Amino acid sequence: MIIRSRAPLRISFAGGGTDVSPYMDEQGGAVLNVTIDKYSYSSLQLSDSPHITVQSLDYDIIAKYDLDKPLPYDGRLDLVKAVINRLSPKENAQGLNVFMHTDAPPGSGLGSSSSLVVSLVALFQHWLHLPLTNYDIAELAYEIERVDMQIQGGRQDQYATTFGGVNFIEFSREATIVNPLRIPNEILYELNYNLLLCYTGKTRLSAGIINSQVRNYVQREAQVLHAMGELKAIAKAMKDNLLQGHLNEFGALLHEAWINKQMMAQEISTPYIQELYAAARREGALGGKISGAGGGGFMMIYCPFERKHFVAEAMEKIGAKVVDFHFDLNGLQTWNARM
CA–CA distance, 196 with 276 (Å, rounded to integer): 12
Please say whether the dihedral angle defined by the alpha carbons of residues 153, 159, 164 and 167, taken in this order, is positive or negative: negative
CA–CA distance, 83 with 145 (Å, rounded to integer): 9
Long-range residue pairs from 53-59, CB within 8 A, at least 24 positions apart, any chain = 53/96, 53/97, 53/98, 54/80, 54/81, 54/84, 54/98, 54/99, 55/97, 55/98, 55/99, 55/100, 56/80, 56/99, 56/100, 56/101, 57/99, 57/100, 57/101, 58/100, 58/101, 58/102, 58/105
DSSP state letter for 327: B
Task: Name, in order, each residue with C-beta under 8 angstroms of 226's C-beta and a sequence gap of 6 or more.
Answer: 263
157 classed as catalytic: yes
Furthest C-alpha separation in the chain: 63
74 φ, ψ to 5°? -135, 15
The CA radius of gyration of the chain, in Å to the nearest whole number, is 20
Does residue 101 contact residue 119 with C-beta atoms inside 8 Å? no
DSSP state letter for 145: I
Q: Where are the alpha helices (DSSP H) in the chain?
A: 23-27, 78-87, 112-128, 134-142, 156-163, 185-194, 206-218, 222-244, 247-261, 271-282, 308-318
Does residue 159 contact residue 138 with C-beta atoms inside 8 Å? yes
Give residue 280's identity as a one-letter amino acid code.
A
Nearest to 203 by CA among 276, 275, 293: 293
Of 60, 74, 148, 157, the catalytic one is: 157
Please say whether the dihedral angle defined by the alpha carbons of residues 334, 83, 169 and 195, taken in this order, is positive or negative: negative
Which sequence positions are flagged as catalytic? 157
